[in-house]
Amino acid sequence: MVADKHRMVAVSYLNTKPLLYGLLRSPVSEQLDMNLAIPSECARQLVAGEADIALVPVAVLPELPRYEIISDYCIGADGEVATVCIYGEVPLHEMTHIYLDHHSRTSVMLARLLLEEYWEHEVTFLNAREGYIDRIGGTTGGLVIGDRTIGLAGRFAHVYDLGTAWKDHTGLPFVFAAWVTTADLTPEFIAEFNAALREGLEHLPQLQLLLPSPSPDFSLEEYFTHHIDYALDSGKRAALKRFLTYLRTHAGGYEVAGTRTGTFG
């Protein structure tokens, strides 16, 4: 890596592709050493000082002694998000256990908040390992996030979209991940970075022609334009404040089948 490049890591999911497309098309990419990872690893790298800029799940923010959100764009939703859901063979109020996807604590904490405040249903949380989706059954449900949710809706009788539930509960959109830095970046770089993200979103029709659909019944256009909402607007900032307040009141973590959850976003 060239010494003067900013170390950047971003979530590797499909919903990030328009933002990465903009960065890769822009001269700003020459100032970046870019890597991709699952959400929890993006958060770990930022906390550990292994990345200067990261698209991170927002649950990591209270763990950072100093940070700045540097973009007007995020991974968000204003209602149904489609790729953050609880799945089960029985209705949620009949579930006794729920596996928690280990890829992102933001979605885990959102599920916990909604179970407490919205659904008002108590369950035993289970730490998910690889292959846990195949263990969903009976009265055991599972929180699944990201690209591996694609195609699951037809596999389980009951699906609960967390974006929809949050909107019903609060009237607000939701921010799953934001562009965050712990470094001192120049206003000029931030402006160029932000412009690159905007250009990527403006070229969604071209990007959709380049990306293969991950499933025959999955519409990239619908996902990018109706489920993922990229603007970090005033509504999402209010939602972020609401969610971070919840996180701070649960700073000690919580038990998952006898083991505390991981510490990263």
Report the pLDDT averaged over residues 152-177.
Answer: 96
Enclosing H/E stretch for 106: helix 105-117
Q: How confident is the model at residue 3 (pLDDT cuts 50, 70, 90)?
A: low
Structure tokens at 206: 């071209």
Taking 70 as the threshold, does the pLDDT of residue 157 lie above it?
yes
Q: Measured between alpha carbons, how far is 77 from 235 in angstroms, rounded to an integer?
A: 11
| 258 phi and psi angles, rounded to 5 deg | 90, 0
Round the average pLDDT of the chain to a whole number and report it: 91
Mapped onto helix, strand or coil, the DSSP state of residue 255 is strand
* Confidence at 217, pLDDT banded by 50, 70, 90: confident
Is the predicted pLDDT of residue 253 greater than 90, yes or no? no
Statement: residue 2 has pLDDT above 70: no
Q: What is the arithmetic mean of pLDDT over 97-115?
A: 92
- Rounded CA separation 19/10 (Å): 10
Between 215 and 53, residue with greater pLDDT: 53
Question: Is the entire prediction scored with pTM above 0.85?
Answer: yes
pLDDT at residue 263 in the model: 42
Model confidence at 19, pLDDT cuts 50, 70, 90, reads very high
Which residues of 113-233 form beta strands (DSSP E)?
124-127, 140-145, 158-161, 174-181, 229-231
Distances (CA, A) of 245 to 74, 109, 118, 191: 19, 12, 16, 29
Q: Among the listed ranges 51-60, 88-97, 124-133, 207-216, which one has the minimum average pLDDT value?
A: 207-216
Q: Which residue has the higher pLDDT, 28 or 259?
A: 28
pLDDT of res. 1: 41
Two structure tokens written together for 133: 């989706």
- The confidence score (pLDDT) of residue 80 equals 97
- What backbone torsions phi and psi does residue 90 show, to the nearest 5 degrees? -120, 160
Tens of pLDDT, residue by residue over 30-88, are 999 999 999 989 999 999 999 999 999 999 999 999 999 999 999 999 999 999 999 99
Looking at the chain, the whole-number percentage of residues with pLDDT higher than 90 is 78
3-state secondary structure of 101: coil
Q: What's the pLDDT score for residue 218?
A: 87
Mean pLDDT (whole number) for 244-263: 60
Per-residue pLDDT, averaged over 195-221, amounts to 89
Whether 20 shows a pLDDT value over 70: the answer reads yes
Instruction: Give me the domains of the chain, ranges plus CATH numbers.
Output: 6-77+173-247 (3.40.190.10), 84-172 (3.40.190.10)
Mean pLDDT of 196-215: 90
DSSP letter for 137, please: B
